[in-house]
Amino acid sequence: MSCSEGSIVVPPVLTGASKLDEQTRLELEAAAFRGLVAHLQRRTDAQNIDLMNLAGFCRNCLSKWYLAAATERGLALDYDAAREVVYGMPYEEWKRQYQQKATPEQLQKFEDTTPLHAFVSGHNAKS
């Protein structure tokens, strides 16, 4: 899946309504991404399933978007390396230290909200 497919479209407010040059816009977007990643690295209590249920994306989605962007640019990066960028440590280590078992309620909400999940998640694959 390409970065421009599905939910990765630059909103018009970032392209047409702004007076920023392309480089400045990219730098601001990159800073916002780094801020979000840093926040999620600090908020280990925020479980991925809760993020998916509320916002339709999680750390794994961010990792997949990061990987897709690298792949589009011909960079050799794998999913584990992309996850380490987002999680701040190897995924299995994060999972062991911080991931909690999902409750039946969380799992049901996950199923109920699947159509709203980010395309990159793979949960709502297009047919």
pTM (two decimals): 0.82
- Which stretches of the chain drop beneath a pLDDT of 70? 1-18, 124-127
- H-state helical runs in 16-117: 22-42, 48-55, 59-72, 79-87, 91-98, 104-113
What does the pLDDT read at residue 48?
Answer: 97
What does the pLDDT read at residue 122?
Answer: 75
CATH 1.10.3340.10 fits 43-120, yes or no: yes
What does the pLDDT read at residue 101?
Answer: 97
What does the pLDDT read at residue 125?
Answer: 59
Residue with tokens 């509320």: 54
Report the distance separating Cα 34 and Cα 53, nearest Å: 23
Q: Is 66 within 8 Å of 9 (Cβ atoms)?
A: no
Report the distance separating Cα 4 and Cα 54, nearest Å: 23
